């Protein structure tokens, strides 16, 4: 899979390139500023992007803006956004830019190489990956619709779905059978009034409903 | 509080003869309350040593305040100037004893007392004599030519007591600045100590642990690869914890989202992290200077954190706007009320920081709610920032 990589720190850029290449990704462009990133994203050969939020010239949130712009130009273009810190506000903006194919992770998560690579792959195939820290922040807003309708167990499953875990992974974490997880997920879909659809899309929609976007 | 413009500059047209005559009548009528207030305060003050005087003061002081303020307004109108500032305001809900202490410490209280004495003697005589002259219409000429000099004379006499002179106002300002500067220096030093401690106990300690794990792993690789793997895994967990610590330290210094999005965006982000719905409304056509922005952000954050912790509120809201050179932020909730702004060191810290910019905080929190905190800082807004992602060029 051919990726665009944007990261202004040379050390991290080289590290990420090595890491992703070792996991079978091809780095098409590795850039270090917003202007170069825009050019790289215009390359039709690019299949997904891994972006840092804070980059030159202003060192604020150009990575995030570039991701949203790229998804406006190419709807559904998979983007994994990495950052030194995560904000529920930014997660909301990112997830509002079309359905699915979005990831938003703390940079530290890269240290779990296998899970990170799996996350990039899941995003590239249309799924969502949300950092556990954002998930925890959103979970704290338990009084709100539509979360209110869910049982604590269902909320837990939904949080894991938001983090981008598969049914099998959720089952293993919660120490239940996969069948039980599937049951919970179906209950979530029903309670959130999500129409019958291809499984992955419903998962993404459930997460979106939960983020209130 | 910012220095008021010198009150001597004529801003309004001075009152007419007829109105001045009316004032004279009012001043004669106010003789009784003023006398009463003076006696109550004098006797109350003397008896306060044996507690007995306190109730007398509790009645006498507000009465004195009231009649002094009436005279202040009349004098200002006679001279055609802005009404000079009166005594310091006492916070609502302050217990009687605290209020009396605040009054005693305010130099204006003593000026008002001295004024009362002058008012019931010279002032009263002047106004009464003038009225008598006016009522004896025969002396119409005296009224025509005498009203202004006499009433202005009386007004100057009143204001000599009831308004601070320029030097005194400047002295007060210097005292305020000295106090807030000392607070700011203290606050900054305390912040640095806190950051040092956080780094020392957090990230630094974890990096030491990390380096130890890696050292042990290095040795174990040859003999016990399984143990080495476990150590490396430990090292990774420790790294994550160190990064989390660093992130928290950074948030405490200057939250990245504040740098990215300004006050409105950062407060929005704060609101999203709160366990209750918070409505954020901002109409800020630009950004305040960075230190003001940061001080306001941390104050609002503290208010919101308190709402989350104590108020038991179901809803909260933040309104931010800028008008007449003042940036105003209002934080409200529908909780139980009864909030004490002085409680908690966190709130005191942010209030001191705000005070350095002449910022003020007023809290209205009746028991039963709602609680409304109003923050005001005089400042100019910079022109709106252009979109930072100038990616097209």
Cβ neighbours of residue A207 closer than 8 Å, sequence gap 6 or more = A95, A128, A130, A158, A161, A162
Distance, CA of B98 to CA of B93 (rounded, Å): 10
B256 interface with A at CB cutoff 8 Å: yes
| Beta carbon pairs, A and B, within 8 Å | 80
Is the residue at B393 inside a domain?
Answer: no
Distance, CA of A167 to CA of A161 (rounded, Å): 8
Task: Look at residue B92 in the predicted model and tell me its pLDDT.
Answer: 64
Is the residue at B384 inside a domain?
Answer: no
B281 falls in which pLDDT band (50, 70, 90)?
A: very high
Task: Kindly state whether residues B69 and B187 are assigned to the same domain.
Answer: no
Q: Taking 70 as the threshold, does the pLDDT of residue B198 lie above it?
A: yes
Task: Look at residue B342 in the predicted model and tell me its pLDDT.
Answer: 65
User: pLDDT tens digits for B53-68?
Assistant: 888 888 888 898 899 8
Do residues A1 and A25 lie in contact, with contact meaning Cβ atoms separated by under 8 Å?
Answer: yes
Q: Which among A46, A51, A102 is positioned nearest to A76, based on CA atoms? A: A102
Of B273, B275, B389, the CB nearest to A66: B389
Average pLDDT over residues A130-149: 76
Between B326 and B341, the more confident residue is: B326
ipTM above 0.85, yes or no: no
Average pLDDT over residues A127-156: 80
Distance, CA of A94 to CA of B71 (rounded, Å): 63
User: pLDDT tens digits for B106-117?
Assistant: 888 888 888 888
Measured in degrees and rounded to the nearest 5, phi and psi for residue B358 equal 60, 25
Buried b (16+ CB within 10 A) or exposed e, B9-40: eeeeebbeeeebbebbeebbebbeebbbbbeb
Distance, CA of B35 to CA of B42 (rounded, Å): 10
**Residue B319 DSSP class:** E
Cβ contact A143–B275 (<8 Å): yes
Q: Which two tokens stand for residue B381?
A: 């807004």
Domain formed by A2-131, architecture: 3-Layer(aba) Sandwich (3.40)
Task: Look at residue B391 in the predicted model and tell me its pLDDT.
Answer: 33
Domain membership of residue B346 as a residue range: 257-378
Q: Taking 80 as the threshold, does the pLDDT of residue B188 lie above it?
A: yes
CB half-sphere exposure, B299, CA atoms < 13 A:
33
Of A60, A111, A137, the CB nearest to B239: A111
Task: Look at residue B296 in the predicted model and tell me its pLDDT.
Answer: 94
Task: Kindly state whether residues B184 and B237 are assigned to the same domain.
Answer: yes
Task: Look at residue A23 in the predicted model and tell me its pLDDT.
Answer: 92
Which of A58, A142, A144 to mutate: most B Cβ within 10 Å?
A: A58
Is the residue at B386 inside a domain?
Answer: no
- B54-59: list long-range contacts, CB under 8 Å, 24+ apart: B54/B96, B54/B97, B54/B100, B57/B100, B58/B96, B58/B100
Q: Taking 90 as the threshold, does the pLDDT of residue B347 lie above it?
A: no
Cβ contact B269–A87 (<8 Å): yes
Residues in chain A with CB shorter than 8 Å from the CB of B260 are 60-61
State the average pLDDT for chain B: 84
Is the residue at B383 inside a domain?
Answer: no
Residues in chain B with CB shorter than 8 Å from the CB of A88 are 269, 272-273
Under CATH, which number does the domain A141-211 receive? 1.10.10.10
CB half-sphere exposure, B230, CA atoms < 13 A:
5
Q: Taking 90 as the threshold, does the pLDDT of residue B267 lie above it?
A: yes
A137 interface with B at CB cutoff 8 Å: yes
Task: Kindly state whether residues B219 and B147 are assigned to the same domain.
Answer: no
A143 falls in which pLDDT band (50, 70, 90)?
A: low
Which of A61, A106, A134 to mutate: most B Cβ within 10 Å?
A: A61
Interface of A with B in 79-118 (CB under 8 A): 84-85, 87-90, 92, 106-108, 111-112
Distance, CA of B273 to CA of B255 (rounded, Å): 14
Measured in degrees and rounded to the nearest 5, phi and psi for residue B319 equal -125, 130
Task: Kindly state whether residues B99 and B191 are assigned to the same domain.
Answer: no
Helix (H, G, I), strand (E, B) or coil at A4: strand
Do residues B342 and B248 lie in contact, with contact meaning Cβ atoms separated by under 8 Å?
Answer: no
Distance, CA of B329 to CA of B343 (rounded, Å): 20
The edge-to-edge listing of strands for the beta sheet with B316-323 is B278-283, B316-323, B326-333, B371-378, B360-364
Task: Kindly state whether residues B345 and B272 are assigned to the same domain.
Answer: yes
Task: Kindly state whether residues B159 and B21 are assigned to the same domain.
Answer: yes
Average pLDDT over residues A135-160: 79
Task: Kindly state whether residues B266 and B319 are assigned to the same domain.
Answer: yes
Q: What number of other Cβ atoms are within 10 A of residue A114's Cβ?
A: 8
Average pLDDT over residues A59-67: 89
Task: Kindly state whether residues B23 and B144 are assigned to the same domain.
Answer: yes
- Residue-range domain boundaries for chain A: 2-131, 141-211
End position of a domain, from candidates B164, B184, B212: B164
B214 burial (CB, 10 Å; 0-12 / 13-18 / 19+) is middle
Is the residue at B346 inside a domain?
Answer: yes
- Report the gap between the CA of B183 and the closest CA in chain A (Å): 32
Is the residue at B89 inside a domain?
Answer: yes
Distance, CA of A105 to CA of A118 (rounded, Å): 13
Helix (H, G, I), strand (E, B) or coil at B26: helix
Cβ neighbours of residue B227 closer than 8 Å, sequence gap 6 or more = B220
Interface of B with A in 152-171 (CB under 8 A): none
End position of a domain, from candidates B203, B227, B253: B253
Task: Kindly state whether residues B21 and B141 are assigned to the same domain.
Answer: yes
Q: How far apart are the first and last CA of chain A?
A: 29
Peptide bond into B197 cis (omega under 30): no
Task: Kindly state whether residues B111 and B246 are assigned to the same domain.
Answer: no
Asked if the domains at A2-131 and A141-211 fall in one CATH topology, the answer is no
Is the residue at B337 inside a domain?
Answer: yes
User: pLDDT tens digits for A88-134?
Assistant: 889 888 988 877 899 999 998 898 889 899 999 999 988 889 998 88
Task: Look at residue B140 in the predicted model and tell me its pLDDT.
Answer: 67
End position of a domain, from candidates B132, B164, B196: B164
Task: Kindly state whether residues B80 and B186 are assigned to the same domain.
Answer: no
Cβ contact B389–A140 (<8 Å): no
Task: Kindly state whether residues B21 and B160 are assigned to the same domain.
Answer: yes
Q: Which two tokens stand for residue B261?
A: 């999005």
Do residues B113 and B38 lie in contact, with contact meaning Cβ atoms separated by under 8 Å?
Answer: yes
Is the residue at B51 inside a domain?
Answer: yes
């Amino acid at each position: 899979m051919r990726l665009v990589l944007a990261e202004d720190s040379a050390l991290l850029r080289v590290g990420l390139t090595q890491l992703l290449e070792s996991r079978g990704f091809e780095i098409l462009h590795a850039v270090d500023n917003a202007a170069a990133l825009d050019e790289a994203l215009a390359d039709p050969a690019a299949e997904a992007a891994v972006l840092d939020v804070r980059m030159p010239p202003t060192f604020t949130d150009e990575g995030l803006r570039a991701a949203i712009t790229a998804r406006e130009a190419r709807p559904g273009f998979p983007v994994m956004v990495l950052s030194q810190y995560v904000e529920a506000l930014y997660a909301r903006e990112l997830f509002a830019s079309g359905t699915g194919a979005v990831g938003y992770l703390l940079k530290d998560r890269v240290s779990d190489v296998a899970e990170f690579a799996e996350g990039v792959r899941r995003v590239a195939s249309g799924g969502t990956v949300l950092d556990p820290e954002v998930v925890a922040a959103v979970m704290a807003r338990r009084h709100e619709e539509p979360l209110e309708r869910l049982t604590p167990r269902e909320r837990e499953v939904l949080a894991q779905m938001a983090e981008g875990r598969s049914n099998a992974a959720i089952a293993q974490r919660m120490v239940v059978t996969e069948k039980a997880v599937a049951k919970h997920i179906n209950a979530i879909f029903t309670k959130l009034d999500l129409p019958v659809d291809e499984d992955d899309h419903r998962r993404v929609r459930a997460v979106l409903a939960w983020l209130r976007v | 509080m910012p220095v008021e413009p010198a009150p001597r500059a004529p801003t309004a047209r001075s009152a007419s003869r007829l109105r001045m005559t009316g004032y004279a009548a009012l001043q004669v009528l106010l003789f009784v309350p003023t006398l009463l207030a003076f006696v109550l305060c004098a006797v109350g003050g003397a008896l306060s040593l044996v507690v007995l005087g306190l109730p007398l003061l509790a009645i006498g002081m507000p009465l004195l305040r009231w009649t002094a303020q009436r005279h202040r307004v009349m004098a200002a109108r006679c001279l055609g100037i802005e009404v000079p500032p009166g005594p310091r305001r006492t916070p609502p809900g302050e217990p009687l004893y605290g209020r009396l202490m605040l009054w005693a410490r305010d130099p204006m209280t003593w000026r008002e007392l001295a004024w009362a004495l002058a008012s019931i003697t010279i002032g009263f005589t002047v106004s009464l004599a003038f009225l008598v002259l006016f009522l004896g219409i025969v002396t119409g000429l005296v009224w025509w030519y005498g009203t202004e000099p006499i009433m202005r004379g009386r007004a100057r006499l009143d204001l000599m007591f009831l308004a601070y002179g320029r030097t005194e106002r400047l002295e007060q300002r210097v005292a305020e600045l000295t106090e807030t500067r000392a607070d700011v220096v203290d606050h900054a030093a305390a912040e640095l100590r806190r950051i040092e401690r956080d780094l020392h106990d957090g990230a630094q300690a974890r990096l030491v642990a990390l380096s130890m794990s890696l050292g042990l792993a290095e040795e174990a690789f040859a003999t016990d690869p399984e143990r080495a793997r476990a150590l490396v895994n430990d090292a990774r967990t420790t790294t994550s914890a160190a990064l989390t610590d660093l992130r928290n330290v950074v948030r405490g210094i200057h939250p990245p989202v504040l740098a990215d999005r300004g006050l409105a965006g950062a407060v929005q982000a704060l609101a999203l992290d709160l366990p209750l719905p918070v409505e954020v409304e901002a109409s800020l056509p630009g950004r305040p200077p960075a230190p003001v922005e940061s001080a306001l952000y941390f104050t609002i954050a503290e208010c919101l954190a308190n709402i989350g912790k104590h108020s038991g509120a179901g809803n909260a809201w933040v309104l931010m706007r800028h008008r007449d050179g003042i940036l105003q932020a209002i934080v409200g909730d529908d909780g139980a009320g009864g909030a004490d702004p002085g409680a908690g060191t966190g709130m005191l810290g942010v209030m001191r920081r705000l005070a350095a910019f002449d910022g003020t905080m007023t809290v209205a929190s009746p028991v039963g709610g709602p609680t409304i905190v109003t923050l005001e800082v005089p400042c100019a807004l910079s022109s709106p920032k252009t979109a930072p992602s100038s990616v097209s060029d």
